[in-house]
Structure formats: structure tokens, C-alpha cells
Amino acid sequence: MYEFAVTPAVTQLRRPGVIITEVSPGSLAEELELAPSDRIVRVNGRSVRDYLDFRFQTAGETELTFQVKKPDGQTIDIEFDRDESEDFGLMFEQIVPRQCANECLFCFCKGNPEDARPSLFVRDEDIRLSFLYGNYTTLSSITEDEMNRIVEQRLSPQYVSVHATDLKTRAYLLGVDEKRADIAEKLQRLLDNDIELHAQVVLCPEINDGAILEKTLRDLAAHYPKVVSTAVVPVALTRYNTDDRLTRVTPEFCQRTIKEVEKLQKEFRKALGTTFAFLGDEIYIKGGVEIPSRRHYGNYPQIEDGVGMVRSFLKKFEALVRTGSGSDRDLLPLRTYDVRTHAQAILPVKSKSPVATAPGSDSGTILTGEMFAPILREQISQFNVSHGTRFHVLAVPNTYFGGDVSVAGLLTGQDYRNIADQIEGDFVIIPKHTIKSDEPILLDGMSFDELKSIFDVPVYDLDTDGLMEFLRLAS
Ligand code: SF4
């Protein structure tokens, strides 16, 4: 689930240019007297709509003219030269996402409580965010300008929610007419222009499973390697999803799907040399089936969609358990924060690792979602045995969204509050991504400070790599 600022969208969408938010001290931009709140409107006479345009218009250019609107309304032109690789030292406003025009049966917005924060109701469908962050779009309302932009600016790869190549099924799932749902020509045009695609299927029992899923995967695999991979993730319904056209995912459904897709995966590996169609981790966990091997996932092309995360975690954790607390610490494959699926993607700014505030205790509680808890608990038990530590894993039920929601990433402040009296040891760890990346609040609006005040012990917010580093230092 991605969150975006809602309010600025109304004003910023109408203004040309991209707003500077930060100028690095001593940088070229400072020398040019650029400042936060300035808006760069044109580069070498070409208009700039956002950060991506700025990057595209300036790439490789050494002689530049910026047209800049100052906050007082004044417009100035700045002419300058730079070395080809010289960085400007500029940070820009976030891209305000374009909204989708679909009415998907399973849309996450329909699964929110009514009083959820407005940002949780933002339905983004934006090819720029697809390129930058791996957000999926349906391409069903993409404009000619956007299609041209993908090709011209090489916004590749794109992440496309296909759901089904059977048109009737796709239209039904998206809640739009068949004309709008039909993206065959658009996909072909992107492929003809060498734009790489990663596809996604949100699997809804009795709608796009079975023969429809097989057709979808075969149709997509026919375009490999331009269609690089396909993720098949199960629909997750909260207690607010009451649409009776939707059926909940059961363990039996997961087992059946694994069997069906395994046959295709074997075929694809033989014919294409890649698994190509990857099932979401939840399908294996819910089906009680072992997570596939490291080789199954290749270079983890869909890890941004949560596919292969468990195997990736287990591999790293194995190394952690194997590693003693002495001289071989350096063997740990840590500091691989934010692996993204393509080189051009921007890494989110990370706070420092917890090293400086390591707990000074070998006893504490690690909180996670109900789905991942058994896996983490097993690993932590092994770690405790090999390192003599006393870490505990506690599964936190999701009471805010309810229903099938059991992933760690959707835990809220109230969920943590509900288990506050079950904490053991001297600290508590929560999954970092339950806190908004640009603001210290949780999904239900509780501030991180308020959350901390609920517990009697320090609270650390850590991602997977941060957790491993923390354990290593605490042991
Ligand atoms: S594309 Fe569908 S699931 Fe995504 S935001 Fe739009 S309606 Fe919701």
C-alpha cells in the first residue's frame, strides 16, 4: 500500500514546473542562487512538468538555461555551463500521483475503515511512479501523451496490473467496460518500443483463477523477455470488503493454485530459462507449502511486490545464525537496504541504522504480523540457541483492518496497543514499514511518539536488514 500527500495535488497539478525543496550547501545549485520554493519551469526552452522531466531534459547537457519562477512571481533565466557528470545538488517535490478511473472489485480503498486517513483513499495510477517505485498501473486510462512519454523518456520497466488476458474477466475485475479494459494494443506498442514490463495478477478465487490464470500466464510468457516476469498475488480482503462477488482465499485454494502454477513454472523454466510466473509468499504460507528455493526466484524480479521476500529473508538469516559473535561477523550479507528492481529507481532516504542505539540487552520482543510470525519465530529460536540470547517473537493480530489481513506491513497503532501487556524483555521492535516513510505516523493516524508512550521499554522501528544488524549487535 502506498500513501501520498493529498492536499497539494489540487494546486500543484495546475502549476507548470517542478518545485525545489532542498539545495545542497556548496553545490552548483547554490552557486546559481537557486533556493527552496523556486520553480524550474523550463530547461533549454523545453517545459518541465516534474522531476522526471527535469532529469530527462538535463541528462548529458553541459550548456543549460533554466527558466525559474521565484516565489514572489518574478521569472528569471539562468544560463550556465556544467561538467557532464556534475550534480546540481537539488531535491524536488514529490510527484503528485495521477488518479485511476477504475472501480476494481478488490480495490484496497474499499477495504479501508470509513475514518481512515484521506491519504489511504488515494487511488494512484501513474506511469511515473510505476517506473520510479514499481507501483502497478492498469494502463486502462493511460493517455496518448503518457504512452509517448514512456517511450520517449525510456520509462522502462513499467509494472502493469494485467489480472487477466481474458477481456471479459479483466473488465469485470476492473469495473470498466471492455473497450477501456482492453490494453492489448497498448502493451504491444510498449513492447515494440522495447519497454520492459513486469506484470501482476491479483488472484481472486472463482474469477481469474484456474483456466483463466493459465491463459493469462501463457499469454504473458509468450512475450518473454520483454515481459520480464509476472507476480500472482492473492486478493486480501479486510472486514470492510463485503462485496459478495468476492470469495476469500482459503488454504485449499492456495494448495490447488500452487499445484496448477507449478506445472507452468516447470514448462517456463524449460522453455525460457526462468520461472517467469511467481506466486506471492502468502500463497505458500497460507497453503502450508514450503517456500520455493533461492533458485526459483532468480534475481527476485518481483521482490518489490513482496514476492520472494520470505526466501530472501531466510537466506540472510541463515547466514546470521551460522555466524558467531566473533571474527567472522564480516561474513554477514548486510547493508543491502532497499534492493530495487531496476537501477534507475530512486532509493527512499533512510534513517540511520540502529547501530548507534543498540539496546545493550539480549532480551526483547519482536512484533510482526500473524502470517510471518511462525517463520520468524523459528529463525529467532535458532538464533537464541546459537547465540545465547532471549528474543521473543509476538504475532500481532490486525484488528484495524481485520478479515484476511495478516501481513506485518498493515499493522496499526491500535493493533500494537492491544498487545502492549505481552511484551517480554527490555525492548520492542516493530516493522519499520508500518510507519509512514515521510512522517512519523502509523496507518491509523497514531503518532510514533504516542506509540512509544504505550510501551514501558524502548521501541525500535526496523526493516529486515536493520533487524538483523540489531540482533547481531545485541548478541
Ligand atoms: S486500479 Fe483498481 S485497485 Fe488500483 S487504485 Fe484503481 S480501483 Fe483501486
Q: Roughly what angle, to the nearest 10 degrees, separates helices 251-272 and 210-221?
A: 20
Q: What is the pLDDT of residue 1?
A: 39
Q: Could you give phi then psi for residue 394, rounded to 5 degrees?
A: -120, 125
Mean pLDDT for 450-463 is 92
Strands 197-203 and 90-92: unpaired
Task: Tell me the best of 1, 4, 100 to mutate to test the pocket of ligand 1, counting ligand atoms within 8 Å of each CB and taking the most.
Answer: 100
pLDDT reading at 351 higher than 80: no
Q: How far is the CA of 169 from the centre of ligand 1 (A)?
A: 15
pLDDT in tens, 31-69: 999 999 999 999 999 999 999 999 999 999 999 999 999
Q: What is the pLDDT of residue 359?
A: 56
Grid coordinates belonging to 459: 521501541
Task: Tell me the best of 3, 109, 124, 203 to mutate to test the pocket of ligand 1, counting ligand atoms within 8 Å of each CB and taking the most.
Answer: 109
Tell me the residue ranges of DSSP E strands in 205-331.
227-234, 277-279
Ligand 1 pocket check for 107: Cβ under 6 Å: yes
Q: How far is the CA of 1 from the centre of ligand 1 (A)?
A: 11
d(CA 457, CA 402): 27
d(CA 292, CA 18): 44
Q: How far is the CA of 68 from the centre of ligand 1 (A)?
A: 36
pLDDT reading at 253 higher than 90: yes
- The Cβ-side half-sphere exposure at 26, using a 13 Å CA radius, reads 0
d(CA 6, CA 458): 32
How far CA 337 is from CA of 94, 193, 268, 462, in Å, comes to 21, 32, 31, 11
pTM exceeds cut of 0.95: no
Q: What is the pLDDT of residue 96?
A: 86
Ligand 1 pocket check for 277: Cβ under 6 Å: no
Ligand 1 pocket check for 123: Cβ under 6 Å: yes
Average pLDDT value over all residues in the chain: 88
Ligand 1 atom closest to the Cα of residue 109 is 8
Ligand 1 atom closest to the Cα of residue 103 is 7
**254: Cβ–Cβ under 8 A, 6 or more apart, which residues?**
234, 282, 283, 284, 286, 287, 289
Q: What is the pLDDT of residue 439?
A: 82
Per cent of the chain over pLDDT 90 is 72
CB 291 within 8 A of CB 310: yes
Ligand 1 atom closest to the Cα of residue 100 is 6
Q: Please report, to the nearest 10 degrees, the dihedral formed by the alpha carbons of residues 409, 414, 420, 422 taken in order.
A: -70
Task: Tell me the best of 6, 122, 123, 237 to mutate to test the pocket of ligand 1, counting ligand atoms within 8 Å of each CB and taking the most.
Answer: 123
Q: Which amino acid is at 189?
A: R
Please tell me whether residue 462 adopts helix, strand or coil conformation: strand
Cα angle 336-338-341, degrees, rounded to a multiple of 5:
105
Ligand 1 pocket check for 189: Cβ under 6 Å: no
Strands 459-462 and 428-431: parallel
Q: What is the pLDDT of residue 418?
A: 97
Q: Whose CA is nearest to atom 8 of ligand 1?
A: 107
Q: Whose CA is nearest to atom 2 of ligand 1?
A: 104
Mean pLDDT for 213-236 is 97
d(CA 320, CA 277): 30
